[in-house]
A and B are shown apart, each in its own frame.
Chain A
């Protein structure tokens, strides 16, 4: 029988190696600064509240898009592959209904709480859409990182195809625009199915102030 290392001991050894690597990386050393940065963050960041250390681990999208931010544009073939991988993750509503309550959607668009170490994990998260987008005309305090969404339904149409697109876009923005700055609200469990429907309604309910 081969020698086996108990998982806990192995984890301990890995952590020790990580610490040693981080110390070297922090001082001089050579090699990939990305790897050194990850090792250093693993050593110097501490879990707090719901923000645990596993959040420092990148998935493929995060890794690809971090590199892209520093270098050139993502090659079209890579962008397409990334989008396809994310499209496969989207779980559309079983009932085929995409439109929720636009009033609830407006509340979600206004609040940015959720998933921070200072937030209560038992409470629902917000979408914080206004941080980056103009949405309804009445809200003057909006950001400009994303495009304006005012009159979204009037411009893009109110039909089921548009509804499905918006649901998917909020669920996983990377499925439609590789390396988008927008969080993947459904894929990362930030918003629930009902909450995403409410956001869809904010943009696509003809009665929503967005379309007035």
Chain B
């Protein structure tokens, strides 16, 4: 991790450069512009700021029990962070539920640190100075799976069930605009405006999309997790709001993560 001020300077320079590229050239593909932005950033992915904060939060004694999260079982054994993101969501016998990373972190905050569930879920999407512990923790934990292939299991009946439910949610058209996730994400080589749309029903696109979240979103200046990505999809679908870290979001996440199996985790990425 390089000093924060240096990263900030590089970021601002790169942002200006990227903005210049966007307006100066024939628009080709947003993805290509973001690629240039990534190249300009070099090693200085702004997500590193969240990763560093997340690692500190993981080790910090917090909550009424003044305990750290270092004994938290993320699915690969108590306290093991390496590779955890590649097996999630998965079934946990202690809660009797299929859980994604963020839902599991809530469980650990409640059980290990004694933080009430509502408190643990509060402030889940950060905004400027109102920072989210969840986004930082998710960034760091995900970064510890870099270079490892996605390996989401459906060996438990609960996991199979969640996958089927998630798939049904993916194709579920409703609301004022008749949209489903599939409206934008079930065909190859389509765009919305200039934004390339991954076909999340195919391994190739699902891998490329899933393995780069969480991501630093240039348009928001924030690091965002899969929970946030799906929340924002549902907003644009004109649906009501899915509750944070709920079973419904976990089911849909499991569907996407499983479709990405075999893809090498490469996040946290830099996103539009």
Q: Counting CB contacts under 8 A, is A46 at the interface?
A: yes
- Out of B177, B190, B249, name the residue touching A44 (CB < 8 Å): B249
- Out of A28, A40, A48, A144, name the residue touching B248 (CB < 8 Å): A40
Closest to B162 in A: A26
- Out of B165, B182, B239, B249, name the residue touching A33 (CB < 8 Å): B165
Q: Do the beta carbons of A183 and B178 come within 8 Å of each other? A: yes
Given A27-B158, A56-B240, 20 more A-B residue pairs with CB atoms under 8 Å apart are A27-B97, A40-B247, A40-B248, A41-B242, A44-B243, A45-B239, A45-B240, A46-B243, A52-B240, A55-B175, A55-B176, A56-B239, A66-B172, A70-B167, A115-B238, A141-B193, A143-B191, A144-B191, A145-B187, A183-B179
Size bracket of the B interface: 35 or more
Q: Counting CB contacts under 8 A, is B164 at the interface?
A: yes
B residues in contact with A62, CB < 8 Å? 173-174, 178
Q: How far is A53 from B240 in the complex, measured between Cα atoms in Å?
A: 6
Q: How far is A86 from B176 in the complex, measured between Cα atoms in Å?
A: 15
B residues in contact with A37, CB < 8 Å? 165-166, 168-169, 172, 251
- Chain A nearest CB from B29 CB (Å) reads 11
- Chain A nearest CB from B21 CB (Å) reads 15
B residues in contact with A184, CB < 8 Å? 178
Near A by CB (< 8 A), chain B positions 138-173 give 157-158, 161-162, 164-169, 171-173
Q: Do the beta carbons of A26 and B171 come within 8 Å of each other? A: no
B residues in contact with A132, CB < 8 Å? 192
Q: Counting CB contacts under 8 A, is B180 at the interface?
A: yes
Q: How far is A143 from B191 in the complex, measured between Cα atoms in Å?
A: 5
Q: How far is A32 from B166 in the complex, measured between Cα atoms in Å?
A: 13
Near B by CB (< 8 A), chain A positions 106-151 give 115-118, 130-132, 140-145
Near B by CB (< 8 A), chain A positions 43-75 give 43-48, 51-53, 55-58, 61-62, 65-66, 69-70
Closest to A22 in B: B247
Q: Counting CB contacts under 8 A, is A95 at the interface?
A: no
A residues in contact with B94, CB < 8 Å? none
Near B by CB (< 8 A), chain A positions 131-177 give 131-132, 140-145, 174
Q: Counting CB contacts under 8 A, is B65 at the interface?
A: no
Q: Counting CB contacts under 8 A, is A104 at the interface?
A: no
- Chain B nearest CB from A76 CB (Å) reads 21
A residues in contact with B193, CB < 8 Å? 130-131, 141-143
- Chain B nearest CB from A71 CB (Å) reads 10
A-B contact count (CB 8 A): 159
What are 30 A-B interface contacts by the 8 Å CB criterion?
A26-B97, A26-B162, A27-B161, A28-B161, A34-B172, A37-B169, A38-B172, A40-B165, A41-B169, A44-B243, A44-B247, A45-B240, A45-B248, A55-B240, A56-B175, A57-B174, A58-B174, A62-B173, A115-B175, A115-B177, A116-B238, A130-B193, A142-B193, A143-B192, A144-B191, A145-B187, A181-B178, A183-B179, A184-B178, A188-B178
Most chain A beta-carbon contacts within 10 A, residue among B184, B187, B239: B239
In the complex, the 7 A-B pairs of residues with the closest C-beta atoms, listed nearest first: A44-B248, A37-B168, A33-B164, A44-B246, A26-B247, A183-B177, A48-B241
Q: How far is A61 from B175 in the complex, measured between Cα atoms in Å?
A: 12
Provided the pairs A26-B162, A40-B247, A57-B174 are in contact, do residues A45 and B194 lie with their beta carbons within 8 angstroms?
Answer: no
Q: Do the beta carbons of B241 and A51 come within 8 Å of each other? A: yes
Q: Do the beta carbons of B176 and A188 come within 8 Å of each other? A: yes
Q: Do the beta carbons of A145 and B190 come within 8 Å of each other? A: yes
Q: Do the beta carbons of B171 and A36 come within 8 Å of each other? A: no
Q: Counting CB contacts under 8 A, is B186 at the interface?
A: yes
Closest to A67 in B: B171
Q: Do the beta carbons of B165 and A26 come within 8 Å of each other? A: yes
Q: How far is A22 from B162 in the complex, measured between Cα atoms in Å?
A: 12
Q: Do the beta carbons of B238 and A28 come within 8 Å of each other? A: no
